[in-house]
């Protein structure tokens, strides 16, 4: 350094002087070091003040009321036939499998006077007792028919064949009240009651039919619907009521007309099967958002399913069996079925204010229980949540995980 060179040009200092100068130099360097250290600390503190680390966003809390449901309406018949189900290759009770996977709600259909015991009031009450003992919430789906009710079939019970007007409205009320009373007498609390099944064109045809040439009939349909809803709430005001529509197209028209008729209910229930209701989950999400915005009602996907294979396990013609019927992103495989399930749940989770209340897989247990050559077996054994050896599939785990 220049200063050192200057010192050596002069005469040699004394020993004391050398010691003094060395001490001064050491002190000077120490001061410089401390100043630099202080400057660094100050600079770091300034940086924190100017550009703070953003806080970690909170993890969203899952909706404790989210419905993770299965429609097990076939179960009494299937189990009575001695059908066995498996979890990870080990035989287990199907209800215990569902419970282990996180399923919390079981949906059951009810027919007025069916030709067999299946879906009769006695069967449904008895099975509900078993479900309640396992800790499941119970969702009752009243068809108001002796057999299947859907957008193309809404036939009145034979017992009401000649009923119309005030008598038919009273029949809806009295019947629904008796159903509620049967559950209450058995000590069973119902979580959800669905008044009608897939009532796109109304129910109890033709008195309660709507749409097309019957579009001036909304008052009749609404009055009968109100009687069913009234009977449910009179039985237990805590029961959630649902009105069910199949698909997303036309849903706004349907629920708008219910609003015009001042029909009060708790949940919008929708069926969503890609084979019939569209192959875009984005479009589904947009439709659900629109329904929530317009009607301020929570939404439940009341029915859905998707294939884990396009093959078959009996001789009964399957509903779903062509590659063209699939959503391209989700192949007909166990992994594709699981991915579809996760994606559908994600659509519901993204709805505002936790208004996506859950979903229910339709007939997850309807395996080919009548044997491989049965022509009257299952038409949807490739859409179940159990494979062709009746072993639980990954989609069942995903459905119960949220």
Quote the radius of gyration of the chain (alpha carbons, Å). 34
Is 303 a residue of the active site? yes
Taking a C-beta distance cutoff of 8 angstroms, is the pair 172, 227 a contact?
Answer: yes
Task: Return all residues near 277 (Cβ < 8 A) that are at least 6 apart.
Answer: 246, 247, 248, 249, 271, 284
Chain centre to alpha carbon of residue 225: 25
Cα–Cα distance for residue pair 257/219, rounded to 1 Å: 9
Instruction: Answer yes or no: are the C-beta atoms of 211 and 161 closer than 8 Å.
Output: no
Q: Which residues, at least 6 apart from 323, have a Cβ–Cβ distance to it below 8 Å?
A: 310, 332
Of 275, 280, 293, 276, the closest CA to residue 343 belongs to 280
* Catalytic hit among 123, 207, 227, 303: 303
Tokens 């282990």 belong to which residue? 100
Q: Helix, strand or coil for residue 155?
A: strand
365 included as an active-site residue: no
Please identify which residue in the block is written with the tokens 């859905």: 304
Q: What is the rounded end-to-end Cα distance, in angstroms, of the chain?
A: 72
Question: Rounded to whole angstroms, how far apart are CA atoms 348 and 65?
Answer: 13
Helix axes 165-185, 218-235, angle to 10 degrees: 20
- With beta carbons less than 8 A apart as the criterion, state whether 304 and 364 touch: no
CA 108 to chain centre: 16
Phi, psi angles (nearest 5°) of residue 26: -65, -40
Pairing mode, if any, of strands 85-87 and 90-92? antiparallel
Tokens representing 376?
């009257």
**Helices 334-349 and 394-401 sit at what angle, rounded to 10 degrees?**
10
Q: Which of 198, 207, 365, 381 is catalytic?
A: 198
Active site residues: 198, 303
């Amino acid at each position: 350094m220049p200063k050192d060179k200057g010192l050596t040009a002069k005469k040699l200092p004394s020993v004391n002087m050398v010691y003094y100068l060395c001490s001064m130099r050491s002190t000077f360097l120490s001061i410089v070091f401390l100043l630099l250290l202080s400057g660094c600390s100050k600079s770091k503190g300034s940086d924190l003040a100017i550009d703070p680390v953003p806080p970690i966003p909170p993890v969203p809390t899952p909706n404790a009321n989210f419905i993770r449901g299965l429609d097990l309406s076939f179960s009494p018949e299937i189990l009575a036939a001695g059908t066995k189900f498996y979890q990870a290759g080990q035989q287990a009770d199907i209800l215990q499998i569902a419970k282990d996977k996180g399923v919390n709600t079981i949906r059951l259909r009810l027919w007025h006077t069916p030709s067999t015991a299946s879906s009769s009031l006695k069967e449904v009450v008895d099975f509900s007792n078993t479900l309640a003992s396992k800790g499941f919430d119970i969702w009752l789906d009243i068809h108001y028919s002796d057999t299947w009710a859907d957008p193309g079939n809404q036939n009145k019970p034979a017992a009401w064949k000649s009923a119309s007007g005030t008598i038919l409205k009273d029949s809806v009320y009295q019947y629904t009240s008796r159903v509620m009373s049967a559950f209450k007498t058995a000590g069973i609390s119902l979580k959800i009651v669905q008044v009608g099944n897939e009532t796109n064109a109304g129910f109890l045809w033709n008195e309660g039919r709507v749409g097309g040439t019957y579009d001036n009939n909304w008052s009749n349909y609404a009055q009968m619907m109100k009687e069913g809803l009234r009977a449910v709430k009179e039985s237990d005001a805590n029961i959630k009521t649902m009105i069910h529509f199949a698909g997303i197209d036309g849903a706004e028209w349907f629920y708008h007309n219910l609003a015009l008729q001042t029909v009060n209910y708790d949940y919008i229930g929708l069926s969503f099967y890609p084979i019939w209701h569209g192959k875009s989950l984005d479009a589904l999400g947009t439709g659900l958002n629109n329904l929530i915005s317009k009607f301020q009602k929570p939404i439940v996907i009341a029915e859905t399913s998707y294939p884990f294979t396009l093959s078959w396990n009996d001789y009964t013609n399957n509903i779903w069996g062509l590659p063209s019927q699939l959503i391209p992103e989700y192949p007909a495989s166990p992994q594709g079925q699981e991915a579809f399930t996760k994606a559908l749940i994600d659509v519901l989770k993204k709805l505002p204010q936790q208004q996506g209340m859950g979903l229910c897989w339709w007939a997850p247990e309807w395996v080919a229980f009548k044997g491989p050559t049965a022509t009257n077996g299952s038409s949807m054994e490739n859409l179940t949540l159990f494979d062709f050896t009746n072993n639980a599939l990954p989609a069942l785990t995903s459905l119960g995980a949220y």
